[in-house]
Amino acid sequence: MVATTEEVLELHGRVRKCTACPLHLTRIQAVPGYGPATARVMAVGEAPGENEDREGKPFVGAAGRLLTSLLESVGLDRRDIYITNIVKCRPPRNRDPEPLEVEACSHYLDEQIGLLRPDVILLLGRHALQRLLPGAGGISRLHGERVRRDDRVYVPLFHPAAALYNGGLKETLEADMRRVRGYLADAEATRARRAGGASASDLRKVAAAAGGDQMDLVAAAAGGDQMDLF
Ligand code: URA
Ligand code: SF4
């Protein structure tokens, strides 16, 4: 069962009215999240910046443009992805969110994940990594890796804003995104296998289109036990 648009909009409405932490005092508006209720991929950043605060949508500034082009470079359309942040209101002067703010806001993100139940969650930067995979390790070790927890796939990535002025980091981010495409193909195949519908040849087509790991997918189609697939 995927979320309905009404459920997601109801949550967004509560976020827009929220006064649970001091960030509501300095915001222009809260930025709940953006994307279809049916999205299979969620991206989680840190906090809204100046442009986001003004427009009410996540990742609409320079970092957002880089995110869009990174997604497009591996054949993903930003409009298919649900994008949100750890905290929903802009911290003054873009300072890091404080622990109490993260804590006050975190139930909204939990609700978003619970509603959409995405196959893959992209963790953009160390704040998202710390919040959703506490204790897993640092971003420099985990970036681009597929981390499975609670039946869900997480992929920590460097934050696009950090890559804006660092060419080396941008190349790393591009390489990591290419791996994400394969992870998505695997996740899709697993979902199809669980639904019991897809044949091995369907899965091979998905894998070939996405450059994913064909052997894993064929094993999945054959019902090959858990096979360490997920
Ligand atoms: N950086 C973030 O972490 N989130 C946004 O929404 C924009 C920039
Ligand atoms: Fe509420 Fe989160 Fe905004 Fe704080 S940051 S006021 S908890 S929506």
pLDDT tens-digit profile of 195-217?
A: 886 555 554 554 555 554 433 33
For residue 200, being part of any structural domain is answered with no
Q: Is the CB of 87 under 6 A from ligand 2?
A: yes
Ligand 1 centroid–CA 147 distance in Å is 22
Sequence-ordered alpha helix ranges (H) in 134-224: 139-142, 160-163, 167-195, 200-210, 214-221
Closest-CA residue, ligand 2 atom 4, reads 21
| Interval 67-77 mean pLDDT | 94
Residue 142 binned pLDDT confidence (cut-offs 50, 70, 90): very high
For residue 218, being part of any structural domain is answered with no
At residue 151, the pLDDT reads: 83
At residue 186, the pLDDT reads: 93
Tokens representing 36 are 């279809």
Ligand 2 centroid–CA 221 distance in Å is 44
At residue 208, the pLDDT reads: 56
pTM of the predicted structure, to 2 decimals: 0.85
At residue 230, the pLDDT reads: 21
For residue 202, being part of any structural domain is answered with no
Query: Could you list the residue range(s) of the whole structural domain that residue 108 is in?
Result: 5-178
At residue 202, the pLDDT reads: 53
Q: Which of 51, 52, 90 should be mutated for ligand 1, with most atoms under 8 A from CB? A: 52
At residue 214, the pLDDT reads: 38
Packing angle of the helix pair 167-195, 214-221 (nearest 10 deg): 20
With a Cβ cut-off of 6 Å, ligand 1 is lined by 45-49, 52, 58-59, 63-64, 85, 161
CATH code of the domain containing 158: 3.40.470.10
**Average pLDDT for the chain:** 88
Q: Which of 15, 46, 50 should be mutated for ligand 1, with most atoms under 8 A from CB? A: 46
| Interval 117-129 mean pLDDT | 96
* 2 contacts: CB under 8 Å, gap ≥ 6: 37, 38, 116, 117
Place of tokens 């622990």: 99
Place of tokens 């695997």: 186
Asked whether residue 175 carries a pLDDT value surpassing 80, the answer given is: yes
Q: Which atom of ligand 1 is nearest to the CA of 83?
A: 6
Asked whether residue 228 carries a pLDDT value surpassing 50, the answer given is: no
Q: How many domains does the chain have?
A: 1
What ligand is nearest to the CA atom of residue 61?
Answer: 1
* Core vs surface per residue 46-59: b (16+ CB within 10 A) or e: bbbbebbbebbbbb
The count of C-alpha atoms lying within 13 angstroms of the C-alpha of 40, restricted to the half-sphere facing its C-beta, is 15
Asked whether residue 129 carries a pLDDT value surpassing 90, the answer given is: yes
- % of the chain with per-residue pLDDT over 90: 78
Helix or strand (DSSP H, E) at 108: helix 99-116
